[in-house]
Structure 1
Amino acid sequence: MFPWHYLALLLLITVHICKAQDCDTFTDLDVSHAFLGTNLDIRLLLYTRENGSCGKLLSHTNLTAHPHFNLSRPTTFIIHGYRPTGSPPMWVENIREMVLEREDLNLIVVDWNYGAANLNYFKAVANTHLAADNLTVFIKLMETQGASLSSIHMIGVSLGAHISGFVGANLVGSIGRITALDPAGPQFTGTTPKDRLDSSDAQFVDVLHTDIDALGFREPLGHIDFYANGGTDQPGCPKTIFSGGSYFKCDHQRSVLLYLDSVTCASKAFPCSSYKDFMDGNCLSCEKFGEAGCPVFGHDVIRWKDILLRLRHTKTFFNTNAVHPFCMTNYRVDVLIWNEEERYGYITIKLHGINEEAEATIDHSAAKFQKFTETKLFAHFEKDIGSVKKVTVTFSTGNVFKPKYKLRVLRLRLTHLERVERPLCRYDILLKENKEVTFRPIVCEELSNF
């Protein structure tokens, strides 16, 4: 008797193989291609919720060739950057899944690996203009067949950010949004707006900076510019050249990881003129944003679009963890002392919840404590403790050979900057240098001004 169940299994495997063969994938090159150089070739891979894991190569001239390409839906373009080794970006699949999970749209991965894979960076830069011209023609064709330019969102990484800008400029700033993830700096720094991304290239331009001292662009470029950890050294990235290639690219690539993380873990960003002022706690007010509060970095910053367009250009800062989840929880810490003499030092605070805790060390510079003068500090905790049961505080000076000091605290106040809730306080604490003091906080009482 013929084993029909084996035949059914064989047919099922065959169907899956055929489906896999029907999928188009990102071009996979190697160092030999980059060494010899490649000619520009733009491939547009379409993903929708109907074919979320199976890319379909789009025709540049026949937009009706693929049934899933619905021009009445919004369209998001993902544009990668320089690929010196020719390999596909590791993040493409993740960002594709993220975008399609959030919205029912056409997602187009722009594969310009032929053109980006070249050891000659200057050639890759030159190809950004050619790639932009190609995409411009494609989008104009979309428009003639019913697509709304306002519903187009371009997410560009490094060189891809400037490609997005060139496309936007070609279309006179009529596309809806450009998100630029650490726009490339080399060959673009110091150029005029027509030769790089700028805020006039789309109706709304949001920019993330993570490597402004090397591969990224330092100056603001959009309606809102986010500087993660000041835009330079990212936590968890190698600090020395002995770490190999990661030393050169980790900060730059962190921009994509932060954007991916923003969907489930949004970081509040604070408008400020400098990272120093941000770290010193001088920029904690979000009054200019009204009831909306400070904007969050990432996919959902579009909710602040109208306010940001009115403000025109906004520079913001936020800090992150070294690993996923990257978002941190921010507190304002106010310390009022009654020591007769000034004290300089650092504060470490540990929040204890139910079976969890989070710690923040405020040590970027020595804080100045004066009698009856409130010292304002900015604390970044690695996670949010929903209900704080206990608080541990440590005061230190960093002076190994000098006498140990004491900080006589009249009031310590913790104000959560992510949630609207009453501040927590503790009154009359004696902090001995390098000695932990743990207490149960209470809801703050009002004190008269000193």
Structure 2
Amino acid sequence: MWKFYLTISLMCLVRSDADETCATFTRLGFHNALIGTELDVRLLLYTKRNWTCAKIVNSMALGGLNITKKTTFLIHGFRPLGSAPVWLGDLVEGLLLVEDMNVVVVDWNRGATTVIYNQASSKTRRVAIVLKEFIEQMLAKGASLGNIYMIGVSLGAHIAGFVGKMYPGQLGRITGLDPAGPSFNGRPSEDRLDPSDALFVDVIHSDTDALGYEGPLGNIDFYPNGGLDQPGCPNTIFGGLQSYFKCDHQRSVYLYLASLREDCAVIAYPCDSYRDYRNGKCLSCGTARTEPCPRVGYYADQWKGYLKEKALPTTKAFFDTAEQKPFCIYHYFVDIISWNKNVRRGSITIKLRDKDGNTTESKIDHEPATFQKYHQVSLLARFDQDLREVAEISLVFSTGSVVSPKYKLRVIRMKLRSLAHPDRPQLCRYDLVLMENVETVFRPILCPKLQL
């Protein structure tokens, strides 16, 4: 008899240990990629209570998923080497830190792992069907479609779109992180992510000239650094073969991760083109008399009310980033009124220093500015540090010529105003003479409050 009880005890112990086992993302190798993998979708549930220990859920068993809370699905893309996405753990943790929700990692590594891209992309609709079956079970238990959020990376963005089409426009939100371009560029809306696939669709395009989708796909489409080459990524294969191919494409994920930080609000500016944004023509949002500027990433949906108010089906928004994490850039306008008799064309480099000696610099050279007598030129300056109290400013004027005589730029007034913090005091300086290629350093003063 004691053997029977011992056997039962051991079985219970094994079962208990199995119940406590944490599920992990499927890890495969290059061998699997060479021979290809059949599709097998696993859903890994993380919650605030178990944010480091995933549990397997499926259409037959929701497990610890709380249907009264938001459910966020994370959907990866093509995995040519079979490894787990390096950003996955950080994204799960970041989401659970900002909100108490269900996070479901959609592990379709068996299916996405192959050296032949088209084999992976051909399975995206089948992944969407699996997710629909799971969502149907959620709905049967009382969940709401409006409480479902899908974050899709590369091919995963189109998978999210296919799920959204099965519930026409009723999903709460879809975020596309550099949706895949190959096999999807130029396809009709039913064959890719589309603005109509959810109540709100936001997209970050970081590699439109290679692995990412070329055109707009959301209610608002964000284009960091114009959507092309990202600062800090290698420009040639000599910077690392894998990084050369993946860095721009993955930057969208890291920008989304940056948006989850309290110290880095990534702001974008609605505009028709990156060129117009760089030339300071589209920076009217964020002032007291206008709507706020849209935020990139997790909080992008705070802007959807303004989209509906203006009845805009789609909006493009542009912004620049720094080379390193968390990638934040702080925008200022540098307003210059000159009094040269003759027109001067050139660029301005501005450096800021605070009382502790911290410095940050911006070279405003996207296009040469034209300085005319008594005419105000507003230049967009981008800094990678946010200095709260500017104690010193330096300016350098350059025409870019190496053979012509040195010119002077006579300045009646220079004004510095923060776009990221419009409530901060504006700083001025009067009667400056900038010798070409010579740094002019000065202490600013507060601008008169009534000055326009």
TM-score by length of 1: 0.92
Structure 1 distance, partners of 2:143, 2:19, is: 30
3-state DSSP class of the match of 2:27?
coil
Q: Which residue of 2 aligns with 1:438?
A: 441
For the structure 1 residues 287 and 387, does the alpha-carbon distance in structure 2 shift closer, same or farther, using more than 3 Å as the test? closer
Cα displacement string for residues 304-336 of structure 1 (whole angstroms, at most 9, x for unaligned residues): 221123333111001100001211110111111
For the structure 1 residues 141 and 289, does the alpha-carbon distance in structure 2 shift closer, same or farther, using more than 3 Å as the test? farther
3-state DSSP class of the match of 2:151?
strand
Bigger Cα displacement from structure 2, 49-58 vs 280-289? 280-289
CA drift of 1:151 comes to 0.5
3-state DSSP class of the match of 2:294?
coil
Q: Which residue of 1 aligns with 2:361?
A: 359
Cα displacement string for residues 237-257 of structure 1 (whole angstroms, at most 9, x for unaligned residues): 001122212111110011111
Q: Which residue of 2 aligns with 1:417?
A: 419
3-state DSSP class of the match of 1:38?
coil
3-state DSSP class of the match of 2:223?
strand
Contact 2:206 2:248 in 1 (8 A): yes
Q: Which residue of 1 aligns with 2:430?
A: 427
Q: Which residue of 1 aligns with 2:75?
A: 79
The correspondence of residues 245-324 of structure 1 with structure 2, limited to 5 A, is 245-264=242-261, 265-286=264-285, 292-310=291-309, 311-324=312-325
Q: Which residue of 2 aligns with 1:58?
A: 57
Task: In structure 2, give the amino acid aligned to 1:328.
Answer: I
Structure 2 distance, partners of 1:181, 1:395, is: 39
TM-score by length of 2: 0.92
Task: In structure 2, give the amino acid aligned to 1:423.
Answer: Q
Task: In structure 2, give the amino acid aligned to 1:370.
Answer: Q
Q: Which residue of 1 aligns with 2:215?
A: 219
Q: Which residue of 2 aligns with 1:236?
A: 232
Structure 1 distance, partners of 2:216, 2:369, is: 30
Contact 1:29 1:85 in 2 (8 A): yes
3-state DSSP class of the match of 2:122?
helix
CA drift of 1:20 comes to 11
CA drift of 1:427 comes to 0.6
Q: Aligned residues: percent identity?
A: 51
Q: Structure 1 runs of 4+ off > 3 angstroms?
A: 17-21, 287-292, 445-449
CA drift of 1:391 comes to 0.7
Match of residue 372, structure 1, among 356, 371, 374: 374
CA drift of 1:288 comes to 10
Q: Say if 2:135 is the partner of 1:135.
A: no
Contact 2:175 2:201 in 1 (8 A): yes
3-state DSSP class of the match of 1:245?
helix
Structure 2 distance, partners of 1:353, 1:55, is: 46
CA drift of 1:59 comes to 2.8
Structure 1 distance, partners of 2:54, 2:170, is: 27
Unaligned runs of 5+ in 1: 1-13
For the structure 1 residues 287 and 91, does the alpha-carbon distance in structure 2 shift closer, same or farther, using more than 3 Å as the test? closer
Q: Which residue of 2 aligns with 1:104?
A: 100
Structure 2 distance, partners of 1:108, 1:86, is: 20
Cα displacement string for residues 50-74 of structure 1 (whole angstroms, at most 9, x for unaligned residues): 11101111133122xx2x2211111
Task: In structure 2, give the amino acid aligned to 1:61.
Answer: M
3-state DSSP class of the match of 1:257?
helix
3-state DSSP class of the match of 1:389?
strand
Q: Which residue of 1 aligns with 2:395?
A: 393
Q: Which residue of 2 aligns with 1:8?
A: none
The correspondence of residues 38-53 of structure 1 with structure 2, limited to 5 A, is 38-53=37-52
Structure 2 distance, partners of 1:31, 1:171, is: 37
Task: In structure 2, give the amino acid aligned to 1:433.
Answer: E
Match of residue 141, structure 2, among 112, 120, 145: 145
3-state DSSP class of the match of 2:397?
strand
Contact 1:223 1:309 in 2 (8 A): no
Cα displacement string for residues 148-193 of structure 1 (whole angstroms, at most 9, x for unaligned residues): 1100100000000000000001111211000111111111110100
Contact 2:286 2:419 in 1 (8 A): no
Task: In structure 1, give the amino acid aligned to 2:244.
Answer: Y
Q: Which residue of 2 aligns with 1:6?
A: none
For the structure 1 residues 62 and 287, does the alpha-carbon distance in structure 2 shift closer, same or farther, using more than 3 Å as the test? closer
Aligned residues: 432
Structure 2 distance, partners of 1:289, 1:409, is: 28
Cα displacement string for residues 401-442 of structure 1 (whole angstroms, at most 9, x for unaligned residues): 221111111111111101123321111111111111111111
Structure 2 distance, partners of 1:291, 1:282, is: 15
For the structure 1 residues 151 and 448, does the alpha-carbon distance in structure 2 shift closer, same or farther, using more than 3 Å as the test? closer
Match of residue 118, structure 1, among 114, 118, 123: 114
Q: Which residue of 1 aligns with 2:5?
A: none
Contact 2:73 2:150 in 1 (8 A): yes
Bigger Cα displacement from structure 2, 428-437 vs 416-425? 416-425
Q: Say if 2:91 is the partner of 1:95.
A: yes
Contact 2:169 2:197 in 1 (8 A): yes
CA drift of 1:197 comes to 0.2
Structure 1 distance, partners of 2:196, 2:427, is: 44
3-state DSSP class of the match of 2:90?
helix
Q: Which residue of 2 aligns with 1:404?
A: 406
Bigger Cα displacement from structure 2, 435-444 vs 282-291? 282-291
CA drift of 1:25 comes to 0.3
